[in-house]
């Protein structure tokens, strides 16, 4: 059972919490994060959700997405989700969300980063992710048209690619693989 913090419409913590998956109370909001990891060629790291996931089974998605747990800041939630789902340590110190999209139950922060790494470094969380790969903007749009990618609004995806191309830079090599205990 995952517990999440609740916020006001002005994104102030209320001190209240709820169980993830329950309906958000009226006039309260929760925090969700997405991280879009691009490589230097402008390809987006995408993940295929597991077939047994409740929401969007078998569909491809941006690099990661998840809820901020109680006590998490947006950045902490984003770093934790990258580690949990992909087994990668991503340092987002000093990085702000590129985009925040309000939805009926909360706020969805999208981080856009450009980092190069070998896909062999990815250790997929078997409960969440069944595959990962790099995809171009055109490939993502084609997958959306085919119904194999989560149906984000095309202008949102275009904005994420635009942001990467105009503001996303490789500032430091801060992705490292999770160390495996032998």
Q: What percent of the chain has pLDDT over 70?
A: 92
- Spatial CB neighbours of 139, under 8 Å, sequence gap ≥ 6: none
pLDDT band at 102; cut points 50, 70, 90? very high
Q: 163 in a domain, yes or no? A: yes
Q: 144 in a domain, yes or no? A: yes
Q: 110 in a domain, yes or no? A: yes
**Mean pLDDT score, 4-25:** 96
- Spatial CB neighbours of 149, under 8 Å, sequence gap ≥ 6: 46, 59, 60, 61, 140, 143
Q: 9 in a domain, yes or no? A: no
What tokens does 161 get?
């690619």
User: Nearest CA to 126 among 89, 86, 88, 182?
Assistant: 86
Residue 182 has pLDDT above 60, yes or no: no
- Structural domains counted in the chain: 1
| Distance in angstroms between the alpha carbons of the first and the last residue of the chain | 29
Phi, then psi, of 139 in degrees rounded to 5: -65, -40
Q: 58 in a domain, yes or no? A: yes
Residue 168 has pLDDT above 70, yes or no: no
Task: Read off the CATH number of the domain in which 143 is found.
Answer: 3.90.79.10
pLDDT band at 27; cut points 50, 70, 90? very high
pTM for this structure? Answer: 0.90
- Domain coverage including residue 82: 28-169
Residues in the chain: 182
Q: 20 in a domain, yes or no? A: no
From the CA atom positions of the chain, what is the Rg in Å? 16
């Amino acid at each position: 059972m995952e517990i999440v913090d609740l916020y006001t419409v002005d994104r102030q913590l209320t001190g209240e919490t709820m169980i993830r998956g329950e309906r958000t109370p009226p006039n309260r909001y929760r925090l969700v994060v997405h991280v879009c990891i691009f490589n230097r060629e402008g390809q987006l790291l995408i993940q295929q959700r597991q077939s047994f996931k409740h929401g969007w089974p078998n569909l491809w998605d941006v690099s990661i997405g998840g809820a901020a747990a109680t006590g998490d800041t947006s950045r902490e939630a984003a770093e934790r989700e990258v580690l949990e789902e992909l087994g990668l340590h991503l340092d987002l110190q000093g990085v702000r969300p590129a985009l925040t999209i309000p939805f009926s139950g909360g706020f969805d922060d999208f981080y856009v980063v450009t980092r190069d790494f070998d896909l062999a470094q990815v250790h997929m969380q078997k409960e969440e992710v069944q595959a990962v790969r790099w995809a171009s903007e055109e490939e993502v749009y084609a997958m959306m048209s085919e119904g194999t990618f989560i149906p984000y609004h095309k202008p949102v995806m275009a904005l994420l690619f635009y942001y990467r191309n105009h503001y996303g830079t490789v500032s430091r090599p801060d992705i490292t693989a999770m160390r495996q205990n032998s």
